[in-house]
Amino acid sequence: MLATAAAASRVPTDADRWAYEVKWDGMRILADVHEGSVLLRSRTGRDVSATFPELTALAEAHADVHLDGEVVALEDGLPSFSALADRMHVRDARSATIAARRTPVTLMAFDVLRLYGVELLDRPWQERRESLDRLQPSGSAWQVSPVYPDAASLLTATREQGLEGIVAKRRTSPYQPGRRSPDWVKHAHRRHQACLVVGWRPVEGAGSRMGGLLLAVPGADGALRYVGRAGSGLGAGMEEELREALAGHELPRPVVDVPRPDSVGAHFTAPVVVVEVRHLGATTGGRLRQPTLRGVRSDLEPSDVREER
């Protein structure tokens, strides 16, 4: 179940009908614990159990539970998406174990979909939440995301503390898998956008190195449109991951209309890789203002990309 984006002024404020949680800056995960094993799936349904070995501790605390939540990596007490991005692409079990020691993650659980063999999808959010609150978190492996009674206070607190934002949830809402529902409403203080990589420009004077990515986003009609290029935040680790993901997807010409200043000398690719950028809004022509790369979104498929308004 996905939340619908809204401006701060459009977040519901009736606390009798709505509850409020922190919007965590991480990776959405479904954790299915059954008969001593833990299956972790990303938002797209991909098995990422090997990526986060520290979450196997869930099986030690609960015999049968299906949790929805956000995996976060903390830096100086705050969730860091860039730190998490270094973990998201790891598939090898040995490498994942080493990465877990260096950058441990925590599952911030905010919903429970099954408990002791009983499916809870059709139960109202309030009932599911009460079931979740009765569970005991297992050490550092997972925590229950707190619920707050006042939207305005949480908006202020999360903004001042540098947190991502808030999510409002209708207390009577059932859980609708895979659906973006108005029963969950999110507001992010910072503007983020998942984008498709449609090419890259080399560093001037070093033609083999990536200097900036050419980015596109589907419009309201589903057709891709160019939203600009981004080079800030493109480090060696991200470049290595991008080269691996883009290998074999080179194209002789771009799949979108790229202005000549950006297209000259560029290498073009099929739109198969998703990255996330932080930005300061968009120009009247639709280009992102001052986009900064945050990481490769290996947890998203190209079909998951949509324009965030």
In the block, residue with structure tokens 């976060």:
72
Residue by residue, DSSP assigns 37-66 as EEEEEETT--B-GGG-GGGGGHHHH-SEEE
Active-site residue identified among 23, 169, 278, 294: 23
CA 308/CA 284 separation, integer angstroms: 16
H-helix or E-strand spanning residue 260: helix 260-263
CA 118/CA 34 separation, integer angstroms: 12
In the block, residue with structure tokens 């869930």:
58
**What secondary structure letter does DSSP report for 288?**
B
23 is catalytic: yes
CA 285/CA 283 separation, integer angstroms: 5
R_g (Cα) of the chain, nearest Å = 20
CA dist list (Å): 283 to 66, 67, 109, 150, 218: 43, 40, 37, 34, 16
Q: Which of 48, 104, 97 is nearest to 74 (CA)?
A: 104
CA dist list (Å): 78 to 106, 163, 206, 279, 294: 12, 7, 36, 20, 15
Would you please indicate which residues are annotated as catalytic (active-site) residues?
23
